[in-house]
Amino acid sequence: MANLTLVQAINLALIQEMERDDRVLILGEDVGPNGGVFRVTEGLHKRFGSKRVVDTPLAESGIIGTSIGLAIAGLRPIPEIQFEGFLGPAYDQICSHAARMRTRTRGAMTIPLTVRVPVGGGIHAPELHSDSPESIYIHQPGLKVVMPSSPYDAKGLLISAIRDPDPVMFFEPKRIYRAFREEVPEDEYTLPLGKARVVCEGDAMTVVSWGSSVVQCMQAIERSGRSIELIDLRTLYPFDMDAVEASVKKTGRCVIVHEAPKTCGFGAEIAARIMERCFLYLESPVQRVAGFDTIMPYYKLELDYMPDADRIARAIEETAAY
Amino acid sequence: MPIKSAFTTSIDHVSILDAEARFDEKLGAGLIPDADLVKLYEHMCICRQLDEVAFKLQRSGRMGTFPQNMGQEATSMGAAYALEKTDWLVPCYRENAGLIWRGMPMEMILLHWMGDERGNAIPRELHCMPLAIPIGTQMLHATGLAWAAKYRGEKRLACTFFGDGATSEGDFHEAMNFAANLDIPVIFFCQNNFWAISVPGKIQCSAPTIAQRAVAYGMDTIQCDGNDIFAVVHCVRQAAKLAREKGRPFFIEAVTYRLGDHTTADDARRYREQAEVDSWKARDPIIRIRKFLTAKKLWDDAKEAALAERAEREVAAAVERAEGIAAPNRTDFFNHMYATIPPDLALQRDTAQTHGIGQDPSQIEGAVIELPAKSAH
């Protein structure tokens, strides 16, 4: 076991998958000798060479579009989009092609593609470097969407994503890239896509979250002193509604926390599913603590935008008191 | 200091068999053996028949929107003929002649335009991508496919087709830039047919040739008469040689013309002159080959009559196969979304016909539900 940050865990997963399978290659802007702007691919260019760790021209659609061709030809490309705000130019290739190729060709062609994208706020970055666009990609049929919240999960989920035969959007919450360390096995392991993690158990209330908000939830729960069950979804499509259902039926109360804007955020889907499946078990309305329906503000106000432990704690108290 | 030239270039235009069937022996001798040319001619005529029948199928309500290929048969077929069978063909949607030459069953193309996705289940060994509907996006896929061949040390190319309109798209430029800078053996085959629906070529590109766009990317390029199959074969062979030997991309601008409307949903009379269309009818690639074959005593009226009968028969059989296929299962569209269907989606599929709202039946357990009588359709 090694005590690793999330960045180091992802780096280790990439190394191990590239060593194991020579179909795996990395492409993107600055991923080569520079090791990526967050140093996630540090050392890989030196280790595997410029054939397998490829600095491409500055062009997001080009990175995803060529990855689609590479994948159809049987390789396992891992394109990196430097920041989630630059997914826009790649959206057409992701949604018009990567997501649809399997069904369009009746299964004749598959796109085993893992798009790595740092997401979210909290690191004092410029405009378009702090957004949370996961709902857009969850809403697109044909994609899988993953967002880990810890180094251990990041490694296991990334290896699963690379080996998955379908296109995976792998969102990395940049706020916790180096925020803490965790014991991570040095050997390879996988975590199944579509399975949630019960971070802590409890019977008075369920909190559902993903990404860096999980860390904020843990702080709020610790402060509340209540018996609260925290579920980290880990994979957002497919998502583990069974885990949420089981927990809410046990606790009767639920707070959903995410950083993305509230309207049409993934919390709305979870809340609707709880209504479908757990209506008669609910003791209180399902609450959402989310980002606001505004553009993510420049960084002087970013912490006022993002759900923090105070807002989550208040939602917990209101829900408990209902 | 005197001002010096930083860069000069010129772009060749290749024509071997012109509209009057004059033949450039120097360039064209031995390029396409007589027997092959006869086969190519026959194949073009059969594809023209398919094109005309498809148009009628649409007009009579038996098929959806269809983009006619009429007038552009020489480009994709010439390329398909000049390439190896293991090279990838990455089409847009006006390349029937090339795809069918490669081995795509005609009924699959009909099925596609009949709104049946089974038309896209392309046999892997054909090395063809499905028809691409978005404009210009497939050039990046071709670049990736050729990149994968290079990665594996295979001498395999990709050839991607697109129109003049696509050269305005961002993905065109990204694909050209990736291929040139990363040394990827892909052939960019522009079919300059002068019209992007109603928008004329001069609005896509103010330079005298589209080919010169390739120069800016440091890519070798050539322009050819796209209605001359000899010129197409000559240029594609030249491109393929460079790509295979040096791993370099190549850009071909084939000057051709769309004789029909953009699609059956379009009426080109609204924006272009009949005189222009007529002038291009005189340059039809099919007429040109027939004149050439007739002059060489390789073709005559009896053969033409037999071919017309054969084309009619083969296309009618393809239509029969396409229309005769059993209707797809009502839940078929769920099944190819993922390699393994996620449980929630499986539930939606399994309940789509019973409850119609994709919910777990246990949710309504015990409730008394009376459904209204099923409507006639």
pLDDT of residue B374: 59
Mean pLDDT of B173-191: 98
The whole-angstrom distance between A199's CA and the closest CA on chain B is 23
Measuring CA to CA, how many Å separate A236 from each of A50, A193, B15? 33, 9, 57
Write out the E strands in B107-241. Answer: 158-163, 186-192, 195-196, 199-200, 220-225
Residues facing A184 on adjacent strands:
A2
Q: Is B339 on the interface with A (CB under 8 A)?
A: yes
* Region A314-322 average pLDDT: 96
pLDDT at B363: 62
B316 CB-near residues (< 8 Å, 6+ apart): B53
pLDDT tens digits for range B242-252: 999 999 999 99
CA distance to partner chain B, nearest, from residue A26 (Å): 12
CA B119-B124-B127 angle, 5° bins: 95
| Three-class SS state of B196 | strand
**Given CB atoms, is A107 within the 8 Å cutoff of chain B?**
yes
3-state secondary structure chain A: CEEECHHHHHHHHHHHHHHHCCCEEEEECCCCCCCCCCCCCCCHHHHHCCCCEEECCCCHHHHHHHHHHHHHCCCEEEEECCCHHHHHHHHHHHHHHHCCHHHHCCCCCCCCCEEEEEECCCCCCCCCCCCCCHHHHHCCCCCEEECCCCHHHHHHHHHHHHHCCCCEEEEEEHHHCCCCCEEECCCCCCCCCCCCEEEECCCCEEEEECCCHHHHHHHHHHHHCCCEEEEECCEEECCCHHHHHHHHHHHCCEEEEEEEECCCCHHHHHHHHHHHHHHHHCCCCCEEEEECCCCCCCHHHHHHHCCCHHHHHHHHHHHHHC
Mean pLDDT over residues B267-288, rounded? 96
Chain B residues touching A194 at Cβ < 8 A: 342-343
Percentage of the residues of chain B whose pLDDT score is greater than 70: 94
Confidence of residue B369 (pLDDT cuts 50, 70, 90): low
Mean pLDDT in residue range B59-78: 97
A59 CB neighbours in chain B (<8 A) are: 174, 177-178
Q: Which residues, other chains included, contact A218 with Cβ-Cβ below 8 Å and sequence gap of 6+?
A: A199, A200, A230
Round to whole Å and give the CA distance between A85 and A315. 29
Q: Residue B175: which of A62, A106, A110 has the nearest Cβ?
A: A62
Give per-residue burial for A164-190: e unless 16+ CB within 10 Å, then b: bebbbbbbbbbbbbeeeebebeeeeeb
- Phi-psi map region of B227: left, alpha, beta (phi>0 left; psi -120 to 50 alpha): alpha
Interface of A with B in 51-80 (CB under 8 A): 51, 54, 56-57, 59, 61-62, 64-75, 77
Nearest chain A residue to B181 by CA distance is A57
Give me the amino acid identity at B52: E
| CA distance to partner chain A, nearest, from residue B291 (Å) | 40
Confidence of residue B71 (pLDDT cuts 50, 70, 90): very high
CB contact under 8 A, B339 and A105: no
- Average pLDDT (B162-169) is 96
Residue B229, classed as helix, strand or coil, is: helix
* Per-residue confidence (pLDDT) for residue B329, from 0 to 100: 87
Q: Verify whether the Cβ–Cβ distance A108 to B171 is below 8 Å.
A: no
- Which residues does residue B128 pair with via DSSP β-bridges, in sequence order? B89
Q: Give the confidence band of A92 by pLDDT, cuts at 50, 70, 90.
A: very high
d(CA A123, CA A178): 11
pLDDT at A1: 86
Q: What is the pLDDT of residues B323-334, one digit of tens each?
A: 999 999 888 899
- Model-wide pTM > 0.90: yes
Per-residue pLDDT, B331: 84
Known catalytic membership, residue B262: yes
From the number of C-beta atoms within 10 Å of its C-beta (0-12, 13-18, 19+), residue A314 rates as middle
| Segment A55-59 mean pLDDT | 96
Residue of chain B nearest A278, judged by CA positions: B363
ipTM: 0.91
DSSP symbol at B230: H
User: Cα separations (Å) of A59 from A29, A63, A92?
Assistant: 8, 6, 13
The answer to whether the CB atoms of A241 and B175 lie below 8 A apart is no
Verify whether residue B338 is a known catalytic residue: no
CB–CB contact A73 B344 (8 Å)? no
pLDDT band at B348 (very low <50, low <70, confident <90, very high): confident
Stretch B106-120: mean pLDDT, rounded?
A: 95
* CA B252 – CA B190 distance, rounded (Å): 6
d(CA A283, CA A271) in angstroms, rounded, equals: 14
Q: Let me know how long chain B is.
A: 377
Q: How many CB pairs below 8 A link A and B? A: 140
Percent of chain A whose pLDDT exceeds 90: 100
Q: Note the pLDDT of residue B376.
A: 53
pLDDT > 70: what percent of chain A?
A: 100
A69, B142: Cβ pair inside 8 Å?
yes
Confidence (pLDDT) at B257? 97
pLDDT tens digit sequence for A260-288: 999 999 999 999 999 999 999 999 999 99
CB contact under 8 A, A165 and B339: yes
Q: Is the CB of A57 less than 8 angstroms away from the CB of B174?
A: yes
Q: Is B122 at the interface with chain A, CB within 8 A?
A: yes
pLDDT at residue B370 above 90? no
Mean pLDDT of chain A: 97
Whether the CB of A96 is below 8 Å from some CB of chain B: the reply is yes
Whether residue A89 and residue B170 make contact (CB cut-off 8 A), yes or no, is yes
Q: Which residues of B touch A69 (CB under 8 A)?
A: 140-148, 158
User: Cis (ω within 30 of 0) for the bond into A238?
Assistant: yes
Q: How far is B105 from chain A (nearest CA, A)?
A: 15
CB contact under 8 Å between B336 and A165, yes or no, is no
Q: Which of B262, B288, B290, B349 is catalytic?
A: B262
Candidates B121, B333, B342; nearest CB to A105 = B121
All residues of chain B having their beta carbon less than 8 Å from the beta carbon of residue A65 are 137, 139-141, 143-144, 171, 174-175
Q: Dihedral sign, CA of B23, B29, B35, B40?
A: negative
- pLDDT for residue B21: 87
Rg, chain A, Cα only = 19
For range B276-300, the mean pLDDT: 96
pLDDT at B46: 98
Return the bridge partners of A205, or none: A228
Place of tokens 């240029």: B235
Percent over 90 (pLDDT), chain B: 88
- pLDDT score of B352: 77
The answer on pLDDT for B2 being more than 80 is yes
> B333 vs A45, A100, A145, A187, B326, CA distance in Å?
42, 11, 21, 39, 15
Residue-level pLDDT at B349? 87
- Chain A residues whose CB is inside 8 A of the B336 CB are 102-103, 105-107
- Compare B350 and B259 and report the one with higher pLDDT: B259
Picking from B332, B239, B333, B171, the residue whose alpha carbon sits closest to that of residue A68 is B171
Q: What is the pLDDT of residue B347?
A: 87
User: Between A271 and B374, where is the model more confident?
Assistant: A271
B20-38: pLDDT as tens digits: 889 999 999 999 999 999 9
**Interface residue B291 vs chain A (CB under 8 A):** no
- Pick from B163, B34, B16, B43: nearest CA to B103: B43
Q: Listing from the earlier edge strand, what are the strands of the sheet with B250-255?
A: B13-14, B220-225, B250-255, B186-192, B158-163, B88-90
Q: Which residues contact B208 (CB under 8 A, 6 or more apart)?
A: none
